Structure 1
Amino acid sequence: MALRITLAGSTGWVGKALVAAIAASDDLVLAGAVSRSAAGQDAGEAAGLPRLGVSISATLEEALAAPSDVVIDYTKPNAVKAHALTALAQGRHVVVGTSGLSAEDYADIDRHAQQAGRGVLAAGNFSITATLLRRFALEAARFVPDVEVIDYASAKKPDTPSGTARELAELLSEARQAATSKPVEELTGVRETRGGALGAREPVQVHSLRMPSFVLSCEAVFGADNERLVIRHDAGSSAAPYVAGTLLAARRVGSFTGLKRGLDAVMD
């Protein structure tokens, strides 16, 4: 039986590519779609495809009236947590591709997922190569304690840092040893120029650039005595790199209960 998908953000940059990929899949079917700006339109036609016979809903609550197994969310940071909790309450598994949530938000989603007996897989970036950036950076952090993250995105991206950078910094915080750089609280001048600290154990400084010509890039910069290591991921202008990872997440999110973060949690 095909896995039934409700897609929130179906007319967005990644959403349109996901509609096409789901329509072309043998084991997935689009059961519902959400886009406030395109409510009432056919989900296929709104994505530039032939009609799929699925009408776009204005809200997730409306879309969930149709039976489904997994909700994929590619909407906005201010909506995604409420969407996840609504989906869990309605008995769906959830894949979160929207960035901007805090560690506290994820902890709350995890509690609701555990209570509902459902799985949630969240990633700031479902690209395979972005997932490898994270894996390689965590390996480097075992040996080089000094690391900072630089996050690049377009001038109009509303959240800082990106989900990719936030997740990377939080994980590096747990993996690294204490930095040798002078603590921010001991600095003079404009302390904000040192970026924002993320992570609970050994916080990592994150610097976000927002300007034209960038889509999404993230780099981990490691510094050791007389040498440096930079591990960087650059996204192109197409949403294609995110589609395969998102659909892999949708296929596997029902295999566990609670929240997992990062595509690598199910890649192996």
Structure 2
Amino acid sequence: MIDIGINGAAGRMGRRLVALASEDEQLRVVTALERDGHELLGNDAGVVASVDAINTPLAAQVQNKPKVMIDFTVPEAFREALRVCRQQKIAMVIGTTGLTDDDYKAIDAAAEDIAILHAPNMSLGVNLLFALVGQVAERLGDDYDIEIVEAHHRFKLDAPSGTAMGLAEAICHATGKQIDKDFVHGRHGESTRKRGEVGMHALRIGDEVGRHSVHFGTLGEEITLAHKASTRDVFARGALRAAAWLADKPVGRYHMKDVLGL
């Protein structure tokens, strides 16, 4: 059995991680963290997740040290979890989005002491999409315009989404473009497209779980690569698979492409 921890275990993603981990014969949730003062502290994490009790209560601090901690929270909670995991030598799978440049530097620094896997999207399909988008952008070149469109529920805090930024980074890595120089966020007024620029567009609508598409177009044809998630379980299952994969890895920084062997 692989002992794992869930940070933000009473949140929407946290509950699904607990529930799905309880169905996995190789995983055991031994730590379920929530913020100090949370109204559900002390309750069994399995019951909170609407499954059978797992004998692990929601707690504000690590009580039983896991092999890997999974973090799907907000930047503030992630920062504290990173500090604790680095201090206690607990590997981390990080799915939190909206991180700053300083956060990425902190992840790099922590990866000198623990194994860390960070991905803007834990879906296996999306991570395959990252690879495909980079290949297409490299092969087609600037003769083809590129537009990235993402859609999420009305409550999402960050825009563009972490996944959209992951798609942008895949394009940059393949083509040498720069996000702060070659990307345009939305358009209004007189906005004739410039050769080589990449458009980024964010929709916030209803209860949309997650939809991403990358459009490559030139005069006469268009290619679209797209992914749609209909349930958050795809992200939870990907994170659990990543945690199982990371459990025996040495210190360092890893990505979902490593899990997939890409």
Same fold (TM over 0.5): yes
Residue 236 of structure 2 aligns with which residue? 243
Q: C-alpha displacement at 1:189, in angstroms?
A: 6.8
Instruction: Assess, with a 3 A threshold, how the Cα gap between structure 1 residues 159 and 249 changes in structure 2: closer, same or farther.
Output: same
**Alpha-carbon distance in structure 2 between the residues aligned to 1:228 and 1:103:** 34
Are positions 1:43 and 2:42 aligned together? no
Contact preservation (8 Å) 1:126, 1:245: yes
Output the TM-score relative to the length of structure 2: 0.84
Q: C-alpha displacement at 1:223, in angstroms?
A: 2.4
Residue 135 of structure 2 aligns with which residue? 139
**Alpha-carbon distance in structure 1 between the residues aligned to 2:52 and 2:215:** 46
| Structure 1 residue matching 2:111: 3-state secondary structure | helix
Q: Find the partner of 1:84 among 74, 82, 85.
A: 82
Q: Percent identity?
A: 28
Instruction: Assess, with a 3 A threshold, how the Cα gap between structure 1 residues 67 and 177 changes in structure 2: closer, same or farther.
Output: closer
- Structure 2 counterpart of 1:48, which letter? S
- Structure 2 counterpart of 1:136, which letter? L
**Alpha-carbon distance in structure 1 between the residues aligned to 2:86 and 2:151:** 32
| Structure 2 residue matching 1:142: 3-state secondary structure | helix
Contact preservation (8 Å) 2:209, 2:229: yes
Residue 215 of structure 1 aligns with which residue? 209
Contact preservation (8 Å) 1:173, 1:204: no
**Alpha-carbon distance in structure 2 between the residues aligned to 1:136 and 1:84:** 31
Residue 158 of structure 1 aligns with which residue? 157
Q: C-alpha displacement at 1:40, in angstroms?
A: 1.3
Question: Any residues of structure 2 matched to 1:1-268 within 5 Å, and which?
Answer: 2-36=1-35, 37=38, 38-57=40-59, 59=60, 62=61, 64-114=62-112, 116=113, 118-145=114-141, 146-176=145-175, 204-236=198-230, 238-254=231-247, 255-261=249-255, 263-268=256-261
Contact preservation (8 Å) 1:170, 1:204: no
| Structure 1 residue matching 2:4: 3-state secondary structure | strand
**Alpha-carbon distance in structure 2 between the residues aligned to 1:17 and 1:53:** 17
| Structure 1 residue matching 2:172: 3-state secondary structure | helix
Gaps of 5+ in 1: 195-201
Gaps of 5+ in 2: none
RMSD: 2.7
| Structure 2 residue matching 1:230: 3-state secondary structure | strand
Q: C-alpha displacement at 1:224, in angstroms?
A: 2.9
Q: C-alpha displacement at 1:128, in angstroms?
A: 1.7
Contact preservation (8 Å) 2:95, 2:122: yes
Q: C-alpha displacement at 1:105, in angstroms?
A: 2.0
**Alpha-carbon distance in structure 1 between the residues aligned to 2:221 and 2:126:** 24
- Structure 1 counterpart of 2:233, which letter? A
| Structure 2 residue matching 1:259: 3-state secondary structure | strand
Residue 198 of structure 1 aligns with which residue? none
**Alpha-carbon distance in structure 1 between the residues aligned to 2:47 and 2:182:** 54
